[in-house]
């Protein structure tokens, strides 16, 4: 069976880190992307998300520099080169592998977040914040109690936020835009605090968890890193019992 348009959009979405800086993204398209995001499911339809649309170059630079610094820390210092090579072993050409490692350990790979033309930056940066007090239960007396009583529902806000962001990424693809999810600038709590303060996010009630850059891709990118097929990731009835659904 051939893929339909939705399946093609899902499979064609790629992390775009080089943007055509001669083309801006009109607010009309940004609006459509955010609107599509809002159609994501959320527990009790509470929609525990907010998006900050950033076009200000200074703010992009501020957030992008945090991403670059943390990348240098993570990949340039903390991760052994052998481990980086193992993770990137799907890259066949030695020259491409070397280049990918170089831009990773120097942080150059995440310069695109700064939105600068010299580094093919993205014209638009979306920051997604979620409501940490959202526990999938709208009764005020139960809000915020999830963690205390052992319920896993405090995860709901993050789950819903991630679904919202994926909707936005897919909507962007369907509109001919490139996008890239990024979290490295929000992986450390010091950075979450710094970015919240800079953007006026009422932290810790609202927590920024992910970013999405938007722009037109500079280079066509259809092939992404390889995916594990269903036979490798799905089980039938019990963990370990392989799902062998026939590919049709």
Ligand X SMILES: Cc1cc2nc3c(=O)[nH]c(=O)nc-3n(C[C@H](O)[C@H](O)[C@H](O)COP(=O)(O)O)c2cc1C
Binding site for ligand X (CB under 6 A): 14-15, 17, 110, 180-184, 224-225
Tell me whether residue 64 or residue 137 sits nearer to ligand X (CB atom).
64
Triad 165, 166, 169: Cα angle to 5°: 90
Instruction: Report the nearest approach of ligand X to the CB of residue 17 (Å).
Output: 6
Instruction: Report the nearest approach of ligand X to the CB of residue 14 (Å).
Output: 4
Tell me whether residue 125 or residue 201 sits nearer to ligand X (CB atom).
125
Instruction: Report the nearest approach of ligand X to the CB of residue 137 (Å).
Output: 26
Tell me whether residue 17 or residue 134 sits nearer to ligand X (CB atom).
17
């Amino acid at each position: 069976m051939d893929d339909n348009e939705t399946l093609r959009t899902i499979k064609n979405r790629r992390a775009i880190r080089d943007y055509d800086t001669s083309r801006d993204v009109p607010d009309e398209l940004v609006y459509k992307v955010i609107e599509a995001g809002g159609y994501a499911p959320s527990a009790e339809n509470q929609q525990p998300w907010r998006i900050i649309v950033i076009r200000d170059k200074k703010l992009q630079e501020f957030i992008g520099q945090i991403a670059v610094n943390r990348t240098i820390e993570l990949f340039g210092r903390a991760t052994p080169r052998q481990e980086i090579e193992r993770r990137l072993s799907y890259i066949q050409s030695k020259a491409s592998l070397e280049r990918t490692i170089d831009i990773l350990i120097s942080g150059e790979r995440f310069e695109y977040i700064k939105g600068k033309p010299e580094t093919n930056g993205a014209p638009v940066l979306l920051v997604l914040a979620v409501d940490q007090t959202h526990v999938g239960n709208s009764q005020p007396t139960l809000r915020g109690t999830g963690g205390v009583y052992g319920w896993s529902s405090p995860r709901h806000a993050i789950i819903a936020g991630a679904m919202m962001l994926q909707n936005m990424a897919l909507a962007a693809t369907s509109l001919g835009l490139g996008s890239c999810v990024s979290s490295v600038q929000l992986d450390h709590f010091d950075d979450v605090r710094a970015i919240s303060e800079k953007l006026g996010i009422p932290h810790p009630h609202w927590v920024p968890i992910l970013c999405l850059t938007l722009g037109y891709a500079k280079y066509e990118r259809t092939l992404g890193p390889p995916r594990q097929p269903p036979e490798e990731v799905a089980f039938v009835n019990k963990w370990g019992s392989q799902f062998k659904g026939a590919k049709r």
